[in-house]
Structure 1
Amino acid sequence: MALTGYTTTNGEFIEFGSAEARAEAARISKLDRAHVFYSWSAQDKINPQAFAAVEGSTLYDYEGNAFLDMGSQLVSANLGHNHPALVEAIQHQASRITNLNPAFANDIRTEVAAQLIKMVRGDFSHVFFTNGGADAIEHSIRMARLHTGRAKILSAYRSYHGATGSAMMLTGENRRLGNPTTDGDIYHFWAPFEYRSSFFSENQEEECERALQHLRDVIAFEGPSMIAAIVLEPVVGSSGIIVPPAGYLSGVRDICDEHGILFIADEVMVGFGRTGTLFAYEHADETFQPDLITFAKGVNSGYAPLGGVIMTKAIRDTFAETPYTGGLTYSGHPLAVAPAKAALDLYKDGSIFDRVAQLGAKVIQPRLEALRESNRTVGDVRGLGFFWAVEFVSDPDAKTPMDADTMTKGARVLRAQGVWPMVSGNRFHIAPPLITSDEELEKLLAAVEEAAKTIEAEA
Structure 2
Amino acid sequence: MVSDPVFHPWSAQAKVAQETVAGGAGAWFWNQAGERWLDLHSQLGNLNLGHQHPAVVAAIREQAGRLCTLAPSFRAEVRDEAARLILEVAPAGSRSVLFTTGGAEAVEHALRMARVATGRPKILAAHRSYHGATEGAMGVTGDPRRWPLPTTGAGTVRFSGPYRYRSDFHASTDAEERDRALDHLRRLVAYEGPASIAAVIVEPVVGSNGVLVPPDGYLAGVRALCDEHGILLIADEVMTGFGRCGAWFASDLWQVRPDLTTFAKGVNSGYVPVGGVVVGERVADHFAERPYPGGLTYSGHPLACASIVASIGVLRDEGLIERAARLGATVVRPLLDDLAARLPVVGEVRGTGLAWAIELVADRATREPLVPYDAPGRPHPRMVEILRACRARGVWPFVAANRVHLFPPLVIDEDDLRAGVAEVGAALTG
Which category of TM-score, normalised to the shorter sequence, fits these structures?
A: over 0.9
Question: Separation in 1 of the partners of 2:209 and 2:243?
Answer: 19
Choose the corresponding residue for 2:276, options 308, 327, 340: 308
Question: Separation in 2 of the partners of 1:372 and 1:225?
Answer: 46
Equivalent residue for 2:375? none
Q: Is the CA contact (8 Å cut-off) linking 2:248 and 2:321 kept in structure 1?
A: yes
Choose the corresponding residue for 2:424, options 429, 434, 448: 448
Equivalent residue for 1:157? 127
Equivalent residue for 1:418? 394
Alignment of 1:59 onto 2:35 = no
Equivalent residue for 1:191? 161
Question: How far apart are 1:182 and its partner, in Å?
Answer: 3.8
Equivalent residue for 2:65? 95
After the TM superposition, which segments of 4 or more aligned residues of structure 1 sit over 4 Å from their partners?
A: none
Equivalent residue for 1:278? 248
Q: Please show how residues 191-210 of structure 1 align to structure 2 within 5 Å.
A: 191-210=161-180
Alignment of 1:320 onto 2:288 = yes
Choose the corresponding residue for 2:404, options 423, 428, 450: 428
Equivalent residue for 2:415? 439
Question: Separation in 1 of the partners of 2:151 and 2:316?
Answer: 41
Question: How far apart are 1:347 and its partner, in Å?
Answer: 1.9
Cα RMSD of the aligned pairs, angstroms, is 1.3
Equivalent residue for 1:168? 138
TM-score, normalised on structure 2?
0.96
Q: Is the CA contact (8 Å cut-off) linking 2:91 and 2:251 kept in structure 1?
A: no
Equivalent residue for 1:362? 330
Gaps of 5+ in 2: 372-379
Q: Is the CA contact (8 Å cut-off) linking 1:119 and 1:348 kept in structure 2?
A: no
Gaps of 5+ in 1: 1-29, 455-459
Equivalent residue for 1:24? none
Of the structure 1 ranges 311-320 and 222-231, higher mean CA displacement relative to structure 2 is found in 311-320
Residue-by-residue CA offset, 1:126-179 (whole Å, 9 max, x unaligned): 000001000000000111111111111101010000011110010011101111
> Secondary structure in 2 aligned to 1:101?
coil
Residue-by-residue CA offset, 1:350-381 (whole Å, 9 max, x unaligned): 71111110110111001111111111110010
Residue-by-residue CA offset, 1:203-224 (whole Å, 9 max, x unaligned): 1100000000000011001100
Alignment of 1:330 onto 2:298 = yes
Aligned AA for 2:418? E
Q: Is the CA contact (8 Å cut-off) linking 2:128 and 2:143 kept in structure 1?
A: yes
Question: Separation in 1 of the partners of 2:150 and 2:180?
Answer: 32
Q: Is the CA contact (8 Å cut-off) linking 1:71 and 1:422 kept in structure 2?
A: yes
Aligned AA for 1:322? R
Of the structure 1 ranges 422-431 and 83-92, higher mean CA displacement relative to structure 2 is found in 422-431
User: Quick check: which has more Rg, 1 or 2?
Assistant: 1
Question: How far apart are 1:349 and its partner, in Å?
Answer: 5.0
Aligned AA for 2:399? V
Answer 1 or 2: higher relative contact order, Cα 8 Å, separation at least 6. 2
Aligned AA for 2:259? D
Residue-by-residue CA offset, 1:434-456 (whole Å, 9 max, x unaligned): 000011101211111101211xx
Equivalent residue for 2:93? 123
Equivalent residue for 1:374? 342
TM-score, normalised on structure 1?
0.90
Identity of aligned residues (%): 48
Question: How far apart are 1:46 and its partner, in Å?
Answer: 2.2
Choose the corresponding residue for 1:139, options 109, 119, 123: 109
Q: Is the CA contact (8 Å cut-off) linking 2:126 and 2:161 kept in structure 1?
A: yes
Equivalent residue for 1:8? none
